Amino acid sequence: MKHLYARISTDDKCQDISTQLHLITSQHEIDLQWTDEGVRGKSNPLERSGFSSMFSVLMPCDVVYVMEISRISRDTITTLNLYQQLGKMGVKVVSLADGEFDLSNPDDIFRLTLLAGLNQRESGVMGRRISIGMQRAKAHGVVLGRKTTGDKPLAEKMLSEGCTVADIVSKTGVSRATVFRMKKDTVKAAA
Protein backbone atom coordinates (compact mmCIF):
# COMPACT_ATOMS: atom_id res chain seq x y z
CA MET A 1 0.00 0.00 0.00
CA LYS A 2 1.03 3.57 -0.60
CA HIS A 3 0.60 5.84 2.40
CA LEU A 4 0.94 9.60 2.63
CA TYR A 5 1.97 11.19 5.92
CA ALA A 6 1.82 14.96 6.41
CA ARG A 7 2.40 17.09 9.50
CA ILE A 8 2.28 20.79 10.32
CA SER A 9 3.45 22.19 13.61
CA THR A 10 0.75 24.79 14.06
CA ASP A 11 -2.92 24.73 13.26
CA ASP A 12 -3.18 28.44 12.48
CA LYS A 13 -3.86 30.00 9.09
CA CYS A 14 -0.14 30.49 8.29
CA GLN A 15 0.42 26.79 7.62
CA ASP A 16 -1.83 24.65 5.52
CA ILE A 17 -1.46 20.88 5.38
CA SER A 18 -3.23 20.78 2.02
CA THR A 19 -0.02 22.02 0.36
CA GLN A 20 1.83 18.86 1.39
CA LEU A 21 -1.13 16.67 0.43
CA HIS A 22 -1.41 18.28 -3.01
CA LEU A 23 2.31 18.12 -3.81
CA ILE A 24 2.57 14.44 -2.93
CA THR A 25 -0.70 13.30 -4.53
CA SER A 26 0.12 15.19 -7.73
CA GLN A 27 3.27 13.04 -8.11
CA HIS A 28 2.24 9.71 -6.57
CA GLU A 29 -0.85 7.53 -6.46
CA ILE A 30 -1.79 7.24 -2.77
CA ASP A 31 -4.03 4.65 -1.08
CA LEU A 32 -4.28 6.17 2.44
CA GLN A 33 -3.57 9.61 3.87
CA TRP A 34 -2.52 10.27 7.47
CA THR A 35 -2.07 13.71 9.00
CA ASP A 36 -1.13 15.44 12.23
CA GLU A 37 -1.86 19.13 12.65
CA GLY A 38 -0.60 21.38 15.42
CA VAL A 39 2.11 18.90 16.40
CA ARG A 40 5.78 19.81 16.87
CA GLY A 41 8.40 17.88 14.94
CA LYS A 42 10.34 17.12 18.13
CA SER A 43 7.41 15.12 19.52
CA ASN A 44 7.59 11.34 19.32
CA PRO A 45 5.92 10.28 16.03
CA LEU A 46 4.51 7.14 17.67
CA GLU A 47 2.62 9.35 20.16
CA ARG A 48 0.91 11.36 17.41
CA SER A 49 -2.55 10.18 16.42
CA GLY A 50 -2.04 10.28 12.66
CA PHE A 51 1.42 8.74 12.56
CA SER A 52 0.66 6.04 15.15
CA SER A 53 -2.53 5.07 13.29
CA MET A 54 -0.54 4.73 10.07
CA PHE A 55 2.28 2.84 11.83
CA SER A 56 -0.19 0.30 13.24
CA VAL A 57 -1.34 -0.76 9.75
CA LEU A 58 1.99 -0.75 7.90
CA MET A 59 2.91 -4.02 6.22
CA PRO A 60 6.04 -5.26 4.41
CA CYS A 61 6.46 -3.64 0.98
CA ASP A 62 4.34 -0.61 1.96
CA VAL A 63 5.64 2.82 0.99
CA VAL A 64 5.25 5.99 3.07
CA TYR A 65 5.48 9.27 1.16
CA VAL A 66 6.39 12.46 3.00
CA MET A 67 7.20 15.98 1.89
CA GLU A 68 10.57 15.85 3.68
CA ILE A 69 12.01 13.75 6.51
CA SER A 70 11.45 16.58 9.02
CA ARG A 71 7.71 15.91 8.69
CA ILE A 72 8.31 12.63 10.53
CA SER A 73 10.71 14.01 13.14
CA ARG A 74 13.11 16.84 13.86
CA ASP A 75 15.04 14.77 16.39
CA THR A 76 18.11 12.99 15.00
CA ILE A 77 18.00 9.89 17.19
CA THR A 78 14.24 9.48 16.82
CA THR A 79 14.54 9.79 13.03
CA LEU A 80 17.33 7.22 12.77
CA ASN A 81 15.64 4.74 15.13
CA LEU A 82 12.29 5.08 13.36
CA TYR A 83 13.78 4.64 9.88
CA GLN A 84 15.66 1.59 11.12
CA GLN A 85 12.44 0.16 12.59
CA LEU A 86 10.56 0.84 9.34
CA GLY A 87 13.38 -0.76 7.36
CA LYS A 88 13.18 -3.92 9.51
CA MET A 89 9.41 -3.99 8.86
CA GLY A 90 10.09 -3.88 5.10
CA VAL A 91 8.53 -0.41 4.77
CA LYS A 92 10.11 2.13 2.46
CA VAL A 93 9.96 5.89 3.10
CA VAL A 94 10.14 8.27 0.15
CA SER A 95 10.65 11.97 0.73
CA LEU A 96 9.82 14.37 -2.09
CA ALA A 97 12.55 16.78 -0.97
CA ASP A 98 15.17 14.31 0.29
CA GLY A 99 14.69 11.22 -1.87
CA GLU A 100 14.53 7.58 -0.90
CA PHE A 101 16.68 5.92 1.74
CA ASP A 102 17.88 2.32 1.49
CA LEU A 103 18.93 1.43 5.02
CA SER A 104 21.11 -1.43 3.75
CA ASN A 105 23.25 1.14 1.92
CA PRO A 106 25.92 2.88 4.10
CA ASP A 107 25.80 6.00 1.90
CA ASP A 108 22.03 6.36 2.40
CA ILE A 109 22.42 5.87 6.16
CA PHE A 110 25.07 8.60 6.17
CA ARG A 111 22.84 10.94 4.11
CA LEU A 112 19.86 10.29 6.42
CA THR A 113 22.04 10.96 9.47
CA LEU A 114 23.21 14.28 8.02
CA LEU A 115 19.70 15.41 7.07
CA ALA A 116 18.27 14.37 10.45
CA GLY A 117 21.05 16.31 12.20
CA LEU A 118 20.41 19.38 10.06
CA ASN A 119 16.68 19.19 10.81
CA GLN A 120 17.36 19.04 14.56
CA ARG A 121 19.75 22.00 14.28
CA GLU A 122 17.18 23.98 12.30
CA SER A 123 14.59 23.30 15.00
CA GLY A 124 16.97 24.56 17.68
CA VAL A 125 17.89 27.67 15.70
CA MET A 126 14.20 28.49 15.12
CA GLY A 127 13.48 28.10 18.84
CA ARG A 128 16.38 30.40 19.70
CA ARG A 129 15.20 33.04 17.18
CA ILE A 130 11.68 32.93 18.58
CA SER A 131 13.00 33.35 22.12
CA ILE A 132 15.19 36.31 21.11
CA GLY A 133 12.27 37.91 19.27
CA MET A 134 9.99 37.51 22.29
CA GLN A 135 12.61 39.02 24.63
CA ARG A 136 13.04 41.96 22.25
CA ALA A 137 9.28 42.48 22.04
CA LYS A 138 8.96 42.43 25.84
CA ALA A 139 11.79 44.97 26.11
CA HIS A 140 9.79 47.25 23.79
CA GLY A 141 6.67 46.96 25.94
CA VAL A 142 4.78 44.37 23.91
CA VAL A 143 2.57 42.23 26.12
CA LEU A 144 2.80 38.58 25.09
CA GLY A 145 0.22 35.86 25.60
CA ARG A 146 -3.53 35.80 25.39
CA LYS A 147 -5.51 38.91 26.01
CA THR A 148 -7.05 38.97 29.47
CA THR A 149 -10.80 38.61 29.56
CA GLY A 150 -13.10 39.67 32.33
CA ASP A 151 -12.86 42.31 35.02
CA LYS A 152 -9.38 41.89 36.52
CA PRO A 153 -9.62 44.81 39.00
CA LEU A 154 -12.84 43.36 40.43
CA ALA A 155 -11.18 39.93 40.63
CA GLU A 156 -8.27 41.46 42.59
CA LYS A 157 -10.71 43.19 44.95
CA MET A 158 -12.71 39.98 45.49
CA LEU A 159 -9.49 38.05 46.07
CA SER A 160 -8.40 40.55 48.74
CA GLU A 161 -11.83 40.16 50.38
CA GLY A 162 -11.30 36.38 50.65
CA CYS A 163 -13.83 35.26 48.02
CA THR A 164 -13.46 31.77 46.58
CA VAL A 165 -11.82 31.22 43.21
CA ALA A 166 -15.07 29.78 41.83
CA ASP A 167 -17.01 32.90 42.88
CA ILE A 168 -14.39 35.21 41.37
CA VAL A 169 -14.39 33.31 38.08
CA SER A 170 -18.18 33.25 37.79
CA LYS A 171 -18.66 36.93 38.73
CA THR A 172 -15.75 38.50 36.85
CA GLY A 173 -15.20 36.33 33.76
CA VAL A 174 -11.47 36.08 34.59
CA SER A 175 -10.08 32.58 33.96
CA ARG A 176 -9.29 30.18 36.82
CA ALA A 177 -5.63 30.14 35.83
CA THR A 178 -5.44 33.93 36.03
CA VAL A 179 -7.16 34.01 39.44
CA PHE A 180 -4.76 31.38 40.79
CA ARG A 181 -1.82 33.33 39.36
CA MET A 182 -3.12 36.53 41.01
CA LYS A 183 -3.53 34.64 44.28
CA LYS A 184 0.02 33.28 44.06
CA ASP A 185 1.40 36.76 43.24
CA THR A 186 -0.45 38.21 46.24
CA VAL A 187 1.11 35.59 48.54
CA LYS A 188 4.59 36.32 47.11
CA ALA A 189 4.13 40.07 47.56
CA ALA A 190 3.07 39.58 51.21
CA ALA A 191 6.16 37.44 51.95
Asked, for residue 146, whether it belongs to a domain, the answer is no
Look at 105 and 110; give whichever has higher pLDDT: 110
- The mean pLDDT value for 46-59 works out to 95
Query: What CATH number has the domain bearing residue 121?
Result: 3.40.50.1390
Half-sphere exposure of 111 (CA within 13 A, CB side): 14
CA distance 64 to 80: 16
How confident is the model over 149-190, as pLDDT tens digits?
889 899 999 999 999 999 999 999 998 888 988 888 887 777
Does 109 share its domain with 163?
Answer: no
In this predicted structure, the answer to whether residue 95 has a pLDDT above a threshold of 90 is yes
The model's confidence at residue 59, banded by pLDDT at 50, 70 and 90, is very high
C-beta atoms surrounding 185 within 10 Å:
12
Residues 6+ apart with CB under 8 A from 157: none
pLDDT at 103 over 80: no
Domain that holds residue 106: 2-127
Question: Which range scores top for mean pLDDT: 41-45, 49-53, 101-105?
Answer: 49-53
C-beta contacts of 92-95 below 8 A and 24+ residues apart: 92/61, 92/62, 92/63, 92/64, 93/63, 93/64, 93/65, 93/66, 93/69, 94/28, 94/63, 94/64, 94/65, 94/66, 95/65, 95/66, 95/67, 95/68, 95/69
- Whether 173 is covered by a domain: the verdict is yes
Mean pLDDT for the stretch of residues 41-59: 92
Q: What is the mean pLDDT of residues 73-93?
A: 90
* 7-44 pLDDT, tens digit each: 998 755 567 889 999 999 999 999 999 999 888 888 88
- Does residue 91 sit within a domain? yes
**Do 89 and 26 sit in the same domain of this protein?**
yes
- Based on the fold, state whether residues 31 and 67 are members of the same structural domain: yes
Q: Which of 112, 127, 142 is the last residue of a domain?
A: 127
**Structural domain count of the chain:** 2
